Chains A and B, each alone.
Chain A
Amino acid sequence: MDFSFTQEQELLQKGVREFAEKVVAPRVQEMEETKNAPVDIYKAMGQNGFFAVDIPKKYGGLEMGALARVIILEEISRVSAAVGMATQVFYLGIAPFLEAASEEQKQKYLPSLAKGEKLATVAVTEASGGSDPTGIVTEAKKEGDNYILNGRKIFITNSHEADIITVVARTSQDPLQFSAFIVEKGMPGFKPGRKENKMGFHGCTTGELIFENCIVPVENLIGKEGDGLKIALKAISETGRCGMAGVALGILESCLEEAVKFANERILGGKPISVHQAIQARIADIRIALESSRLLTYRAAWLKEKGMRCDVEFAIAKYYSTEAAVQCAKKTVDIYGGYGVMMEFAAQRLYRDAQLLIPSAGTSDIQMIVIARDSLKKGKK
């Protein structure tokens, strides 16, 4: 068991932290106010190789592995969970290409994704269901050399910024039969719809995707007809959950930093409030939550890098770290007292952002189902 970072990972952490502080941090206030996605930051991240991290070298990637991806998300989210969230979903968008795409599709799409020239996302959820796939009604009908897509996807992160979208649609009457298609921005019949107004993650777009007789060439089918759900679920349960845990780590780290800073600086009765046990208890809780979330997430990423099964481990990491982020953000706000609810302090942003970690890539309830199912199955043996 070796818990140390490699020299490369240490440099990566340093470089991303510097990028986050220099490029992302000065924009947080503006994002909070305008709620606009900072596309120029995404482009700069792409140029710096942020999206190449997990892509094989032969497609212009860096092959640094899942842990490198976690490090990036943690450092970016420490400064802005919104940019962290956008980044994590760009990774999610790349995942189907890595896991299921054909060699031709890989060669066509991965090099521009590695450079960040093209941004990606995945679209599964609809108004009538996401985690319950039977609610997916978007359909794809084969007509000659094309599929014709009709339907609407909602709650899609990076809906308006993504150039390449893996869309899950019905291709048969079987209620559990879906297929995955590569839809590109600009294809006839496809357009982004409205943007959601969220309580947090300001600066990360969540929106609607509209397919009205959208024409997708047959070569854009990923895998075979009927593989769609499997492809999307693998991406979400590994890359997606991993990513949400990574964003949670960033929020937890930020909670600890903000809480410690305020506790040391805030003087009441001539002493910093950090002398009080109640404050100390909260700080200890946040630290414990950060460290244990890290261990769970890093280990799951390590399993992924080893090519071992990791979906349940990522479910545990996702559940634990995102729930911890919600609780620790509240503790941070509590330490701030009245300042905790003031918009000029970061504490309230952490509090609002943390809650948004819960519904993405499966709610805590879904993670519990996954974890319980696996535990019960193992118990039977």
Chain B
Amino acid sequence: MDNQGLKASSDIWVFAEQKNKRLAGVVYELLAPGRRLSDKLGGSLASVLIGYDVSDLAEELLACGVDVVYKVDAPPLAHYNSWLYPRILEKLVKENPPNSLLIGATYAGMSLAPALAARLGVGCSAHCVNLDVDDHGNLLQYVPGFGGSLMAIIISPYSRPQIATIKQGVFTKTESKPGIKKGMIREVAFEFTGPIPVKVLEIKQEKHAGMPLEKAKVVVAGGAGVGSKEGWAKIEELAALMGGAVGATRPAVDEGWAKESQMIGQSGKTVRPELYIGVGISGDIQHTVGIQDAQKIVAINNNPKAPIFKMADYGIVGDYKEIVPLLIEAIAQEKN
């Protein structure tokens, strides 16, 4: 492929996703790597804020140390719109192309990023867990995958800007400090005419039952090795006894034992509990990328060669159907 796309600056842009007049958590997570990359490139860190009545959020971004906030503020933009947002961003990017655009891998981000990339004809990576730049200004996009313990580094050497979606929960949040404000807000007019074929009718908040996985002190997770719905009940029993939450690998979700909201890993959640217990989980990187920051990792698996044992603090080789009931009994006794 020949040099394509736009002549880019050395700036890094972070898409500032907002909902109900609050910035999405992942936005705070993207600011630190964004700053690190822009410093390395010698450019500045900018943020794109699209919404309605979001001046406070623009101030908030400045308080987090952003150099420039591009703000597009209009009533039709109150909620993410898969027709309008990619078009607005396309226009902004073409006017002042950054080196790279970082977008959180939220549901909205996963709609926006590929659509924008297609409109611009540039490369886009998904669910990055780490970022860097090389000497040519290429964004090194670390994406776990392909089974086993392999991490792919994706680049888009011939197209600018580079677009990456970044998995939620991998970077530390930047805290806002109202004193440090040095950047500026650039208001961009919303100029759009024509029919809008996608309309938001209603937003429904859902109360999540049980302990949220990301906040649990103890996470007990099960994988394909659990083997059955009956076996899964044992995982739930252990988690309940320890006051923890239940997590799952993708195969366990595919089998229908656990809900998608319980999935940990590349396409699921990242957890940082004090204790993670993996049951019947072999330890593919798609899952382990979401547990590597657990303070303690315990693994129960019948295959002594399961890769998860290498990253576990404590491993038990054997059939979980025997071990988990014994463990439940022992904990119950210890508690009394």
Contact = CB atoms under 8 A, between A and B. Distances in A.
Interface of A: 26, 29, 264-267, 270, 344
A267 B304 contact: yes
Contact of A265 (B229, B230, B302): B302
Contacts of B303: 264-265
B304 A265 contact: no
Nearest to B317: A267
A312 B321 CA distance: 47
B318 A267 contact: yes
Contacts of A29: 230
Contact of B302 (A26, A267, A270, A344): A267
Nearest to A22: B256
Given A265-B319, A267-B318, A26 B229 contact: yes
A33 to B, nearest CB: 13
Contacts of B304: 267, 270
A347 B319 CA distance: 16
A26 B302 CA distance: 24
Contacts, number: 14
Contacts of B319: 265-266
Interface in B12-70: none
Nearest to B321: A344
A113 B13 CA distance: 67
Interface of B: 229-230, 302-304, 317-319, 321
B154 to A, nearest CB: 34
Contacts of B302: 265-267
Contacts of A26: 229
A267 B317 CA distance: 8
B191 to A, nearest CB: 53
A344 B231 CA distance: 11
A107 to B, nearest CB: 43
A262 to B, nearest CB: 10
A26 B257 CA distance: 12
B234 to A, nearest CB: 12
A321 to B, nearest CB: 28
Top 7 A-B pairs, shortest CB-CB distance: A265-B302, A267-B317, A267-B318, A267-B302, A265-B319, A267-B304, A270-B304
14 contacts: A26-B229, A29-B230, A264-B303, A265-B302, A265-B303, A265-B319, A266-B302, A266-B319, A267-B302, A267-B304, A267-B317, A267-B318, A270-B304, A344-B321
A344 B234 CA distance: 14
A266 B319 CA distance: 7
Contacts of A266: 302, 319
B225 to A, nearest CB: 9
Nearest to A29: B230
Contacts of B321: 344
Nearest to B303: A265
Nearest to B225: A265
A29 B303 CA distance: 27
A128 B229 CA distance: 46
A271 B319 CA distance: 13
A153 B216 CA distance: 63
Contacts of B229: 26
Nearest to B305: A272
A265 B323 CA distance: 14
Contacts of A344: 321
A264 B229 CA distance: 22
Contacts of A270: 304
Given A26-B229, A267-B302, A267-B318, 11 more contacts: A29-B230, A264-B303, A265-B302, A265-B303, A265-B319, A266-B302, A266-B319, A267-B304, A267-B317, A270-B304, A344-B321
Nearest to A26: B229
B282 to A, nearest CB: 12
B109 to A, nearest CB: 34
